[in-house]
Chain A
């Protein structure tokens, strides 16, 4: 039952003649999450981004079963003249040089790219929150080590560090690529979380919690962390997009996910040599990456505006 209906119902039961039920009064009874959600929904570009993102996710994860284009590695066309074909009813995205169905590859490759982006973000988030919270809350030695380490790590151009590590640490499986991306992106999160904790630990509610005898870990994760959630959620959302790009760059240069596993980046890598024959091999995965990252950025900015109305950076 909707909140306003509920209130209307109670109002009808107990007669309260003096309380005029206006729109503002109903609004006041919204929960915090509801307020943020409503604010997000008012942002049309962010909602548009979210809708497209959901469609893209459905396309990648449900698409193979719904459309029947579910085998990315089957060599469907044995006739050489039918390889590198343009769009047709049978193969809407065409075929590649060995006659594989590009629609099936785009959908399954999308699963890889999205999962790599999401899981590497989650890993970086867990690491980053753990270490950042500890360093920000306790300060001192751990904090010093973290700050010096991240100073050094951030001074190396990101892609150079990434490529050097990838050449030795990845074996071409999605798992190794996820770990690599998390390993080079956690310190951004850690620094953000550290900064939030450093500022928030001076607040009165922390003192209040300490006064009633809350332990440190409880203060950190039940009191400070929820208050730092806004910026963390925003940066985590944007990090998914960054990680999807990172994966595609790695795979494009041959250091990431290796064939025959499909990802959007590795599809572009195979397609780039054939760009003058069949540009769709590059354009379709390329535009999919572009739209996915665009939608993620729009949603992330929507979160930013919804979570902190004072932070009007845009």
Chain B
């Protein structure tokens, strides 16, 4: 087991290395460099050259790459072209909001998907099951931004009960309790948007793994011993049925990250996703590069965690 984990960790290193090359090439070979967007068009040729030299844009791409890589190892992702502050500072400003959105949405999605999947699986072939199947089909066919827009319309424009963008009501000084309530009201719609997409797919997984587990021999044995239905479900069925779900959640991380980016864009949630969009419109390459690297890093990590969790939770699986 320990050797397996170490081997998988070692495999992730070259992948991360290739990733840096791929992304650096991607960003730097793209047409439309930063100077076209950011530099003052009336800048003299000498001033332009000085700025290019300042940002190190005159070096060959591979020199730029190695400079970037050696600094990135020390946690220094350079300076933002647009704001002229360190990229790491920008990211540390935006990361907590994304983390907040992510954690709440993910927990909600997991719990709801688990419950719906188990209910659907246990009541296979009933009206409840068909109803949930139909709903999950609807959820899968719905793009994230549409869910967001529809929720904005229903709760914001039509019912007038929830705010549709940002993190707080501007122009008021609120007490700690009111501020918390205000923040909570602002996060409801983004969380619902992000969670809905995952719930649809994950509850399907949970349904099929529940069905599979309940067919097993040990379940019949437990039933024959006289284990009551609810403990049977929770203590015997759920423990095995949840394994595929957890790995799927970890593997889906990249998709959820994309969904979070879109959600933040729709709801003007000031996290990494909004930073990504604003950097993209001004071609702020150092920031984009850092966000892409961070995203890819987490995807690789979560894939690794999925593999390891799978091996830890299901001892029948042996890796040689």
- Say whether A163 contacts B254, CB under 8 Å: no
Residue of A155, A161, A297 with most chain B CB atoms under a 10 A cut-off: A155
By a CB distance below 8 angstroms, the chain B residues around A294 are 137-138, 141
A289 vs B295: C-alpha distance when bound (angstroms)? 28
Neighbouring B residues of A164 by C-beta, 8 Å: 26-27, 30, 280, 288, 292
Q: How many residues of B contact A (CB 8 A)?
A: 47
A157 to B292, CA, bound (A): 8
- How many Å lie between the Cα of A101 and that of B143 in the bound state? 25
Structural contact, B146 and A160, CB atoms closer than 8 A: no
Q: In the assembled complex, how far is the CB of residue B141 from the closest CB belonging to chain A, in whole angstroms? A: 4
Give the complex CA separation of A285 and B300 in angstroms. Answer: 36
In the docked arrangement, what's the CA distance between A245 and B146, Å?
Answer: 10
A275 touches B152 (CB 8 A): yes
Max count, chain B CB within 10 A of own CB: residue among A158, A168, A279, A313: A168
* Closest chain A residue to B204, Cβ basis: A314
Interface size range on A against B: 35 or more
Which of A22-30, A130-138, A246-254 lies at the interface with chain B? A246-254
Asked if residues A279 and B153 are in contact (CB atoms below 8 Å), the reply is: yes
Contact between chains at B18 and A159 (CB < 8 Å): no
Q: B276, A160: Cβ atoms under 8 Å?
A: yes
Q: A152-B19, A159-B261 are in contact. Are A249 and B143 (CB under 8 A)?
A: yes
Q: Are A279 and B258 in contact (CB under 8 A)?
A: no
| B145 contacts chain A at the CB level, 8 A cutoff | yes
Q: Are A286 and B149 in contact (CB under 8 A)?
A: yes
Counting CB contacts under 8 A, is B310 at the interface?
no
**B146, A167: Cβ atoms under 8 Å?**
no
Q: Which residue of chain B lies nearest to A279 when distances are taken between CB atoms in the complex?
A: B153
Pair A297/B23 contact, Cβ less than 8 Å: no
Could you tell me if B262 and A159 are in contact, using CB atoms closer than 8 angstroms?
Answer: yes
Instruction: Check B140 for interface membership: any CB of A closer than 8 A.
Output: yes
* A272 in the interface (beta carbon within 8 A): yes
Q: Is the CB of A155 within 8 A of B19?
A: yes
Q: List the A side residues contacting B26 at CB < 8 Å.
A: 164-165
A14 at the interface (CB under 8 A from B): no
One digit per residue, 1 when the CB lies within 8 angstroms of any chain B CB and 0 when it does not, for chain A 272-299 equals 1001100100110010011101100110
- 17 extra A-B contacts, CB within 8 A, seeds A167-B280, A293-B143: A148-B18, A153-B22, A156-B292, A156-B295, A157-B299, A158-B255, A159-B261, A163-B276, A165-B26, A248-B143, A248-B146, A249-B144, A275-B152, A279-B157, A290-B146, A294-B138, A294-B141
- Pull 30 A–B residue pairs with CB atoms less than 8 Å apart, ordered by A: A148-B15, A148-B18, A155-B15, A155-B296, A156-B23, A156-B254, A156-B295, A156-B299, A157-B295, A163-B261, A163-B276, A164-B26, A168-B32, A245-B143, A249-B144, A252-B145, A253-B277, A268-B146, A272-B149, A275-B149, A286-B146, A289-B146, A290-B141, A290-B143, A293-B141, A293-B143, A297-B137, A297-B140, A313-B208, A314-B208
Please list the residues of chain A having a beta carbon within 8 angstroms of any beta carbon in chain B: 148, 151-161, 163-165, 167-169, 241, 245, 248-249, 252-253, 268, 272, 275-276, 279, 282-283, 286, 289-291, 293-294, 297-298, 313-314
